[in-house]
Amino acid sequence: MKFSQLVHGASFEFRGVRYRKVSAIEAINAESGQRKLIPRSAPVDAVDAAVNVIEDRATEAVNRTDLEAALATCWSTLRRRVRQDLLADDAELVALFDQLLMQTQRELRADLLSRADRDLSKKRTTTNEVELDK
């Protein structure tokens, strides 16, 4: 399996060493506690594959980088259109619009990422409950 298929906190072996996944590209050595960058496509052996592997549906979900890029494109386009078409001659309104847009962007990003984290936590809990029932 690939490193990207493990959930955060999952234990796995990589090149004969046991690690625990702490981010999308980083793990902690189980013995030394040192952090190590692990390529997302790196082949790893999960210690408990049934609990640690993200289901195929989850791996097809939009990742954080894609979400950030889509939001940046959306905000950039909106800012350009409003500035050119509606506020072209009013610098004070342009500044106010930019301020409100930035605040809205931060709030939307935080909300979307919070929802994604909740969904992933819910998926982990459900996977663990299924395993306990067996």
- The answer to whether residue 34 scores a pLDDT higher than 80 is yes
pTM of the model: 0.40
- The answer to whether residue 116 scores a pLDDT higher than 50 is yes
Unique residue bearing structure tokens 């999952």: 10
Print burial letters for 88-115: b (CB count within 10 Å at least 16), e (below 16): eeeeeebeebeeeeeeebeeebeebeee
Task: Please give the Cα distance from 19 to 5 (Å, whole number).
Answer: 14
pLDDT for the residue 120: 67
Task: Please give the Cα distance from 128 to 96 (Å, whole number).
Answer: 48
Work out the pLDDT band at 58, boundaries 50, 70, 90.
very low
Note whether 65 and 22 are within 8 A (CB): no
